[in-house]
Structure 1
Amino acid sequence: MKIVVIGGSGHIGTFLVPRLVRAGHEVVNISRGTHKTYADAPEWQQVRQVVADREQEDREGTFGDRVAELQADAVIDLVCFTLGSATALVDRLRGTAGHLLHCGTLWRYGPSRQLPISEHTGSGTAPVGDYGIQKDLIARMLKEETASGGLVTTSLHPGHIVGPGWHPIGPLGNLDPAVWYTLSAGEPLEIPGIGVELMHHVHADDVAQAFEKAVERRDAAAGEDFNVVAPTALNVRGYAEIAASWFGQTATLETVTWDHFRRSTTPEYAEAAWDHLLRSHCLTIEKAIKLLGYAPRYEPEEAVLESVRWLIEHDQLSVAGPLREG
């Protein structure tokens, strides 16, 4: 098939585009051309690159034309963040493309109420925050589009994506690099809340796998939405304990109030921690396993460790000691 990937130079595309090429597809990558992929792969030499500013062309009303003119069998949209942008693309591709696949987020669900959260069973609450609200609206619009006999669509909703080349969401639900130093040194780590709040990570290659399988199983994926996460989720205490053990340390965790935590860190890190831990997400992947054959390779701690090891090896993360082997 001819497959257009919008935003293929990012986290997911780094792994997805080479997968699609290896599967024998003709691949076109639309991106701003300002970002290098996170990992090199020889398959990129076979990919046609199209440079475009999606935001600007959305404002001008021309982006849908650009995509439609490529006459793709499938379009994978990894960088759509508003209902208006998604609707404009659907309207233009209706009748011209065989399948539109959209990348959503686990933040389409609000704070957890019943675990694990499944797609549209009432176990997930309404999203909070514009990012999650928009992604949920897009997913619902896509489902209705296909159900009404329009464009065949699928939405996939990853967890907190990790992999080599970027910082993972850490044990406190933020990107504070000092957390890793504290754990690697065996020093006390202050944790807000009670330490059982959950985070559900996923390796970028497992997300890529899910997209590849959704392309291959178009009929099964048509009109559906899927959670795409690791087989298990980590809570704050467990995550911190596992991370400390990578450095031969035992985590010393001190529970503090949220007010105390906010005073002890930056507003950015405090807000990120609150956003992640308030939601306390744990999702089921039963639907993706059954309909797509999704088979994630990475448990969350394995995915995070790969990311942390890469950051240390490339002098992008300061820690107190070396990672243990094995």
Structure 2
Amino acid sequence: MKVTVIGGSGHIGSFLVPRLVRAGHDVTTISRGTSRPYTDEPEWQQVHTVIADRQAEDRDGTFGDRVAALRPDVVVDLVCFTLESAASLVRSLRGEVGHLLHCGSIWRYGQSLKLPIREGSDSAAEPFGEYGIEKNRIALMLQEETARGGLATTSLHPGHIVGPGWHPIGPLGNLDPTVWQTISAGQPLRIPGSGAELMHHVHADDLAQAFEKAIARREAAAGEDFNIVAPTAFTVRGYADIAAAWFGHAAVLESVTWERFRENTSREHAESSWGHLYRSHCFSIEKAASVLGYEPRYEPEQAVFESIHWLIDHGQLHVARPLGVPAG
């Protein structure tokens, strides 16, 4: 099939696009052209590239028509963040394209109420924050579009995406690189809250696998939404303990109040920590496994270790001790 991937050179597309080429699809990517893929697979030589500024073209109402003009059978939208943008694309593709797949987020769910969180259940509170609210609105709109006989759509909602080439969400629920220096040196790591809060990661290639399988199983996937995460989730304390073992020692953790935690980190990192840990998410992948055949290869610690290893090897993360070999 002819597959167009919007945002194909980013975290997910870097793994998804080569998969689609290997599966025999004719792939076109649309991006701003400001970054290169994180993987250097030979399949990229077979990919058609279109340079476009989506934000600018959304403003003048031309982006959806640009995508439709490529006459794809399938469109994978990896970089849509507002209901207005999603709805505009749907209007342009309706009747022109066989399947639209949207990359959502587990932040479409608010604070966890019952675990694991399942699609369509009452196991999480309403979303909060602009990003999560918009992702939820998009997912609901897509379901309604398909239910009333319009465009066939599917939304996939990944956890905290991990992969070689970028920093993972760390044990404190933020992107502060000094956390890894602290852990590697065996110094006390101040953790807010109880340390039992949860985070659910996913390797970018496992997420790419889910998109590939949803494309292959369009009839089953149409009108559905799926949580796409690793088989298990981290607790804050567990994550820190596992990470410290990579550097040859146990984690040294100090529980502090949120007030004290905020006093000793930047506002950006503190807000990120609160956003991740207050939600305290853990998800079921039963629906994705049964409907799509989703089979994640990476446990969260394997995914994070791969990312940290890459960052250290490429001089993008400095730690106090050499990285060892993960257990198992």
Give the TM-score, by structure 2 length. 0.99
Amino acid at match of 1:295: E
For residue 39 of structure 1, report the CA deviation from its aligned partner: 1.5
The corresponding residue for 1:69 is 69
Q: In the alignment, is the contact (CA less than 8 A) between 1:185 and 1:249 conserved in 2?
A: no
How many corresponding residue pairs? 326
User: Match of 2:134?
Assistant: 134
Matches for 1:251-266 after TM superposition, within 5 Å = 251-266=251-266
| 2:283 maps to amino acid | L
User: Following the alignment from structure 1 to structure 2, what is the Cα–Cα distance between the partners of residues 88 and 189?
Assistant: 46
Equivalent residue runs for 1:49-64 within 5 Å: 49-64=49-64
Determine helix, strand or coil for the equivalent of 1:215: helix
Equivalent position of 1:150 in the other structure: 150
Taking the TM superposition and a 5 Å limit, the aligned residue runs for 1:177-256 are 177-256=177-256
What amino acid is the match of 1:9?
Answer: S
Give the deviation of 1:203 after TM superposition: 0.2
Give yes or no for the alignment of 1:299 onto 2:295: no
Which range is displaced more, 205-214 or 316-325?
316-325
Q: Which amino acid aligns with 1:316?
A: Q
1:211-250 CA distances to partner (integer Å, 9 max, x unpaired)? 0000000001000000000000001000000000000011
The alignment status of 1:45 with 2:45, answered yes or no, reads yes
Counterpart contact for 1:183–1:249, Cα < 8 Å: no
Matched, 1:8 2:31: no
Aligned partners of 1:77 and 1:119: how far apart in 2?
20
Gaps of 5+ in 2: none
Unmatched runs of 5 consecutive residues or more in structure 1: none
CA distance in 2, matches of 1:268, 1:325: 32
Structure 1 CA distance for aligned equivalents of residues 213 and 224 of structure 2: 13
Q: Equivalent residue for 2:98?
A: 98
- CA deviation digits over 1:253-303, x for unaligned, max 9? 110000000001111111110011010000100000000000000000100
Deviating beyond 3 angstroms after TM superposition, the runs of 4 or more aligned structure 1 residues are none
Tell me, yes or no, if the aligned pair for 1:3 and 1:72 is still in contact at 8 Å.
yes
Name the SS of the counterpart of 2:76 in structure 1: strand
One-letter amino acid of the structure 2 residue matched with residue 107 of structure 1: W
CA RMSD of superposed structures (Å)? 0.6
Equivalent residue letter for 1:32: R
CA distance in 1, matches of 2:246, 2:34: 35
2:321 aligned partner: 321
What secondary structure does 2:95 align onto? coil
Q: Quote the Cα distance in structure 1 between the aligned partners of 2:13 and 2:325.
A: 30
User: SS at 1:11's partner residue?
Assistant: coil
Cα distance in 2 for partners of 1:124, 1:95 equals 35
SS of match in other structure, 1:157: strand
Provide Cα deviations, 1:193-214, integer angstroms capped at 9, x if missing partner.
Answer: 0000000000000000000000
C-alpha displacement at 1:325, in angstroms? 2.8
**In structure 2, how many angstroms separate the alpha carbons of the residues matched to 1:32 and 1:194?**
42
1:139 Cα deviation after fit: 0.2
Instruction: Give CA-to-partner distance per residue, 1:147-200, whole Å, 9 cap, x none.
Output: 000000000000000000000000000011111111111111110000000000
Aligned equivalents of 2:93 and 2:179: distance in 1?
Answer: 45
Alpha-carbon distance in structure 2 between the residues aligned to 1:306 and 1:100 = 31
Tell whether the 8 Å contact from 1:109 to 1:132 is kept in structure 2 after alignment.
yes
Identity percentage of aligned residues: 70
Q: How much has 1:124 moved relative to structure 2? A: 1.7
Q: How far apart, CA to CA, are the structure 2 residues paired with 1:226 and 1:46?
A: 30
Q: TM-score, normalised by structure 1?
A: 0.99
Per-residue displacement from partner, 1:82-116 (whole Å, max 9, x unpaired)?
00000000011000000000000000000111110
Aligned equivalents of 1:292 and 1:185: distance in 2? Answer: 43
